[in-house]
Amino acid sequence: MNIEQNYRIGLTTQITGIRPETLRAWERRYEVVKPIRTEAGDRLYTQADIDRLLLIKKLVDNGDAISAVANLNYENLEKRISSCKSAITSSGKNDLNFILLGKTILDKKSLDSMRLNMIDVVQDVRNIKSNYHCKIDFIIAEVQTVNQGTFKNLQKILKQSKATKLLCAYDFGKESDIAKLTSQDTGTTSLPLNHSEITSWCSSNFPNYLQSTSTDRLLTDQDITNIVAAGSTINCECPRHLGDLISKLTAFEKYSSECEVRNTKDAEIHKELETTSAKARYLLEEVLIKLAKVEGIKY
C-alpha cells in the first residue's frame, strides 16, 4: 500500500467539502466509499474515492437525495451529472477550480469565502491527472527555489493538467529568474500562501471571478449591526426592523440548505425554499443599503 497516494479524512473533507460527520454517516448508512484502514484504524481514501465523493457531493448539492445516488457506480454518476450539467454549472458564483501541488493545507471555510474549489492536492507532479471531472482553471505549484529551469517545468505541469493558468509559490530565487515566470499563463507569489494575494491574482487573470450574483450577501452581520446601531441615534426604527427580517431570512436560508431530505421531491422543495429566501434576503439588504445612504449612515 502506497500511503503517499492516499488521503486521510481531514484532507479528504477539505478537498470534497463534505463534513467529517457527514462522510462517516454516508459510509455507515450507504457505503458510498470503503476507505482503506491503517493498522491504527485511521481511514485512508484513494484518489478514486475522492473523485467519486466529488461527483456525489455535486449531485446532493444540486438536490439529489444521498440515498438516490449513493450506490451508483462512477459511470452512472457521471451520466447523472451530465444530464443535469446546466443546473449544476449555473450557480452563478463564478467559482474557480484549482489543484494544489504542494504541502500547504487550505481549509474549506477559507476556500469558500475566496470562491475557490480545491479539486485535488498532490505532492508529486506525476500524480496530477489529465482527466479531472471538471475544468481546472489554475494550479498553485509550490517550489522551494526558482531557477532557470523552473519556467519550463511549470509549462509541463500546465500541459499535463490541462489547466488554464498557473500560480507559482516560491521560497527563494533570483529576481531575474522570478521575473521570467510572469507570463500570460503563469504568475508568482511568495510562500507561505497568502489568501489576499491568491484572490488578487485570480481577479487579475479571470474576468468573471468574484462577480456578484443576484443572491450573494451584500452585507455582513457586522455591517447590519453597525447600521442598526446608527439608526437608533437618528430615532429611526426602520434599520432595526429590516435588520431583524434579514437575520431571520438568513437563518431560514441556512436551515433550508441543511434540512435533512427524505427523497428527491423533498430535496427539490427545500432547494426552492433556500433559493426564494435568499432572493428575499438580498432585496431587503438592497433596501437597507439605500436607507443607510439616505440617512448618511456609514458602516
Report the side by side order of strands in the sheet with 186-190: 116-122, 96-101, 138-146, 165-173, 186-190
Mean pLDDT per 10-residue run, the chain (299 residues)? Answer: 68 88 90 91 90 88 80 85 51 73 81 84 85 85 94 92 94 93 92 90 87 71 87 78 92 81 69 86 88 82
Q: Side chain identity at 108, as an amino acid letter?
A: K
Angle, in degrees to the nearest 10, between helices 221-233 and 238-258: 160
| Count of other CB atoms within 10 angstroms of residue 148 | 10
Alpha carbon distances (Å) from 273 to 203, 259, 265: 32, 11, 12
Cα 169 to Cα 49: distance, rounded to the nearest angstrom? 28
- pTM (2 decimals)? 0.49
Q: What's the pLDDT score for residue 150? A: 94
Which residues, listed in sequence order, are joined to residue 138 by a DSSP beta bridge? 98, 165
Q: 266 by DSSP, 3-state: which?
A: helix
